[in-house]
Amino acid sequence: MRIFNMIVLMLSFSFCFSQQMTKSEFKKIINNSIKEKRKGERRGSSTSHYNILSNNKDSIFFKTKKVEIFTSQAAARQKGLCRTIELEFLKNRQIIFYDSQSCNEPSSGLIPTRKNLYKYKIKQINKQLYIYFKNSFNEMKFKVVSASRKLLNGKNYYEIEMERIK
């Protein structure tokens, strides 16, 4: 009976911390990212706390069914991600996908082109959050499966798991 109670308690904690994200929460993450980028540009430095990154080893961001994004560059480094896609949200519902690698010196990245510039749309349908990316070359659709709020170096960040939709 004691083991059963422990299992139930552990499962309830995992469900509490890995919940469905709302549209307003996701928009808040995007707005924080945009604000922090502007602050960094004004100060002449870049900040890494509000970067939104995903693993792109072997171009998996564009190929796999499941995609995980992190709202902290430090968290992505801690996970050992060398090749990443940075999602830089812009005004007018636009986004640029920056492809870069940081494990081999010198660090490098691909210069974004029109193929990396997308329009995005966020929809919430029946308590499920969907994100659509579209440009004249490609279209990607994702459903947010889970979002976990975590703590690293005294700062909160999110790990967001998305599933590609056809």
52 and 33 Cβ atoms separated by less than 8 Å? yes
pTM: predicted TM-score of the whole model, two decimal places: 0.77
- Among residues 109, 46, 53, 48, which one has the least CA distance to residue 74? 48
> CA 11, CA 92: separation in Å to the nearest integer?
41
For 29, other C-beta atoms within 10 Å of its C-beta total 19
pLDDT value, residue 106: 78
108 and 8 Cβ atoms separated by less than 8 Å? no
pLDDT value, residue 14: 42
How would you write the pLDDT of the chain (166 residues) with one tens digit per residue? 555 444 444 444 444 445 678 999 999 989 888 887 776 655 554 544 568 899 988 888 889 999 999 988 888 888 888 888 889 998 899 999 988 887 777 777 778 788 889 999 999 999 899 999 999 999 999 999 999 999 888 888 899 999 999 8
pLDDT value, residue 124: 94
Only one residue has tokens 């005004």, namely 91
50 and 129 Cβ atoms separated by less than 8 Å? no
pLDDT value, residue 19: 62
> CA 5, CA 3: separation in Å to the nearest integer?
5
